[in-house]
A = this chain, B = another copy of it.
Amino acid sequence: MSATIVDGKAVAAELREEIAAEIAAMNQSGARPPSLAVVLCGDDPASAIYVRNKGRAAEAVGMRFGLHTPPATSTTEQLVELVKALDADDDVDGILVQVPLPAQIDEQAVTQWISREKDADGFHPYNLGLLAAGHEGTVAPCTPLGCMELLRGSGFAPSGRRAVVIGRSPNVGRPLAFLLTNADATVTVCHSRTQDLPSVCRDADILVAAIGRPRMVDASYVKPGAFVIDVGTTPENGRLSGDVDRGSVEPVAGWLTPVPGGVGPMTVAMVLRNTLALARVRRALVRV
Tell me the bound Cα distance from A168 to B184 in angstroms.
10
Chain B residues within 8 Å of A162, by CB: 195, 200
| Contact between chains at A129 and B134 (CB < 8 Å) | no
| Contact between chains at B200 and A186 (CB < 8 Å) | yes
| Contact between chains at A125 and B129 (CB < 8 Å) | yes
Proximity bits, A149-189, B CB within 8 Å = 1, else 0: 00000000001101000001010001101100100111111
Q: Name the residue in A125, A126, A159, A185 with the highest tally of chain B Cβ atoms < 10 Å from its Cβ.
A: A125
| Contact between chains at B190 and A186 (CB < 8 Å) | yes
Give the copy number: 2
A130 near B: Cβ within 8 Å? yes
Q: Assign chain A's interface to a size class.
A: 20 to 34
A274 near B: Cβ within 8 Å? no
Who on chain B is nearest to A187 by CB?
A: B189
| Contact between chains at B194 and A181 (CB < 8 Å) | no
A63 CB to nearest B CB, Å: 27
Chain A residues touching B, majority SS? mixed
Chain B residues within 8 Å of A134, by CB: 168, 170, 174
| Contact between chains at A181 and B168 (CB < 8 Å) | yes
A138 CB to nearest B CB, Å: 12
Proximity bits, A132-146, B CB within 8 Å = 1, else 0: 111100000000000
A141 CB to nearest B CB, Å: 10
| Contact between chains at A191 and B200 (CB < 8 Å) | no
Chain B residues within 8 Å of A128, by CB: 129, 132-133
Known: A126-B125, A195-B160. A132 touches B178 (CB 8 A): yes
Out of B124, B125, B186, B194, which one reaches A195, CB within 8 Å? B186
Tell me the bound Cα distance from A162 to B190 in angstroms.
10
Closest 4 pairs (CB-CB, A-B): A129-B129, A125-B129, A132-B132, A133-B170
Cross-chain pairs A/B with CB under 8 angstroms, 26 sampled: A125-B125, A125-B129, A125-B133, A126-B126, A128-B129, A128-B132, A128-B133, A129-B129, A129-B130, A132-B132, A132-B174, A133-B170, A133-B174, A134-B170, A134-B174, A135-B170, A159-B193, A160-B194, A177-B189, A184-B191, A185-B193, A186-B189, A186-B193, A186-B195, A187-B188, A188-B188
With A134-B168, A186-B195 already in contact, 8 other A-B pairs whose C-beta atoms are closer than 8 Å: A125-B133, A126-B126, A128-B129, A132-B178, A134-B170, A134-B174, A162-B195, A186-B194
